Chain A
Amino acid sequence: MGSLANDAIAIARRARSLGARRDRAGAALSLGIVTTFLTLIVVLPLAALVWESKKAGSHGFWAAISSPEAVAALKLTLGASLVVALLNAVLGTITAWVLVRDDFRGKALVNAIIDLPFALPTIVAGLTLLALYGSRSPIGINVAYTRGAVVLALLFVTLPFVVRTVQPVLRELDVEMEAAAASLGASDAVAFRRIVLPNILPGILSGVALALAKAVGEFGSLVIITGNLPYKTEVSSVYIFGRIESGDTPAAAAVAVVLLVISFVLLLTIGVIRHVTTRHDRG
């Protein structure tokens, strides 16, 4: 009887160690799949891109990114993206506040359509904006082929970011704190600045960083409505596309590497904001 129990324990132990070994094999397999797939789809193409940009040497690289047209495109890209990010910070926060604290008929519908710019193909977004704000505008506003069109298109595609990062924070924020501030004589503006804003600031900042990343790389919504005029409405991604079309891949790759670096920096910033705020929550 005793030996039978011992056998059972031994079998169970062996099964467990077999299971552990199989676990480790499974871990290695899944990690292998993830690494291989990411390498093939993301890392290898980006390596080829960086390689191409270095083909002409560091001199060629600088010449490519400091050509007047490339510089003009990069300046417009960064300038318009910053303007759009700031507008998003204000209008996105207001929209999030209205969606959380206000109550009106059709609020659920309004809440749902916030994500529409994400779901709508960017080329359709551009065509759509042109229908209302182009030369055939029924309301007589024509911004087509101007820098205003660049800002408009970027506002469209970045609409959801700040709203969606601020909304959950605002929802969890205690209304009683604001009520207490108000009962102690603080005006709405003071209560907002002292109580609400510090709490939602990380949300606003990560939304702004996401919007910036999207705006800097945006392409589809801009090609139709901006006319892609060099020195005037041509942003960096459109410039890169033009260089590819004319067979000048080293120049295209050089500017693309600049955009790649900007994307990395913005992702890093978002990571840092997230890290700091979660630590803040725990402490």
Chain B
Amino acid sequence: MAKRSLRSVALGYLVVILVGPLGIVFWRTFQHGLAPAWNALSAHDTIHAFELTLIISAIAVPINTVFGIVCALAIVRREFPAKGLLNAFIDLPLALSPVVVGLALFLLYGRQGWLGPWLTAHGIRVLFAVPAIVIATIFVSLPFVAREVVPTLREIGDEQEQAARTLGAGGWQTFWRITLPSIRWAVTYGVILTTARSLGEYGAVAVVSGRIQGVTETATLRVQQRYESFDLAGAYAISIVLALLAVGVLLAMTLIRPQEETA
């Protein structure tokens, strides 16, 4: 009896918060068939927004993957002073408001910022251009790979690595042959989380991109822009594509998690 009522509380909660709202958006988007959604998606600026989002993710995710692995190896396998500080800074992007991140980058790269005047003098545009969006995306999705890889590295220990070393393997060889294969699922999981965050970032990008239509407008910014121009159908259509990407991410997470737990 108690089990039943708890189950209804939990499922009811999920329906009210999550399933209900998403269902309505799906229904509203497709209530007049596929054509309106398709038309909204094939608008020039919308296509550009999606392309930009994909390009940004294609740059940010590999950078964060390499950094995440190097960082996790440093945290687990090396001893150095101020390790605690590194640990704190690596988690900070998770706890920080995206608007604060955007403002910090705005103040560093802006016209009156520390780096702004030098960059302007050398003809390099960072703020209100693609580089700033890339940096903002890297910032907010920074910790995911490292956070997934650290516990796995701790768990596998370094005996196999030591054995490889004793048998004459170099640092690179040990990494490619021993370390990387044993952390591959953790890395994959981290990459999926990084990708989800990169595709969906809004707040930080809203501050540093300047939101120039057809130039620095990403897919999430485009949702907001369509909504503000009273084009609800357009906003819904872009949202559905982003939601489907999210479902894809979810599917990948669900498929990979058991692998990670048994590996």
* Cβ proximity bits B240-263 to A, threshold 8 Å, 1 near / 0 not: 001100110111011000000000
Q: Which one of B6, B89, B196, B224 lies within 8 Å of A42 (CB-CB)?
A: B89
Chain A interfacial residues counted at CB < 8 A: 88
* Cβ proximity bits A99-131 to B, threshold 8 Å, 1 near / 0 not: 101101000101111111111111110011101
* Cβ proximity bits A265-278 to B, threshold 8 Å, 1 near / 0 not: 01110010000000
Size category of the B interface is 35 or more
A170 CA to B32 CA in the complex, in Å? 46
- In the complex, B11 has a CB within 8 A of chain A: yes
| Min CB gap A186→B, angstroms | 14
Report chain B residues within 8 Å CB of A149: none
Secondary structure call for the B interface: helix
CB–CB B242/A49 < 8 A: no
Number of contacts between A and B (CB, 8 Å)? 250
Chain A residue at smallest Cβ distance from B98: A219
CB–CB B10/A45 < 8 A: no
Report chain A residues within 8 Å CB of B17: 152, 155-156, 159
CB–CB A263/B92 < 8 A: yes
Chain B residue at smallest Cβ distance from A114: B14
Report chain B residues within 8 Å CB of A127: 25, 223, 227, 235-236, 239
Contact residues, A215-242 vs B (CB, 8 A): 216-220, 223-224, 236-238, 240-241
Q: A42-B139, A48-B108, A91-B10 are in contact. List 4 more A-B contacts (CB 8 A).
A: A41-B135, A48-B104, A102-B6, A110-B14
Binding site for B on A (CB under 8 A): 15, 19, 22-23, 26-27, 30-31, 33-35, 37-38, 41-46, 48-49, 51-52, 91, 94-95, 97-99, 101-102, 104, 108, 110-124, 127-129, 131-133, 138, 152, 155-156, 159, 188, 210, 213-214, 216-220, 223-224, 236-238, 240-241, 244, 249, 252-253, 256, 259-260, 263-264, 266-268, 271
Binding site for A on B (CB under 8 A): 2-3, 6-7, 9-11, 13-14, 17-22, 24-25, 28, 67, 70-71, 73-74, 78, 80, 86-108, 113-114, 135, 138-139, 142, 165, 168, 170-171, 193, 196, 199-203, 206-207, 219-220, 223-224, 227, 235-236, 239, 242-243, 246-247, 249-251, 253-254
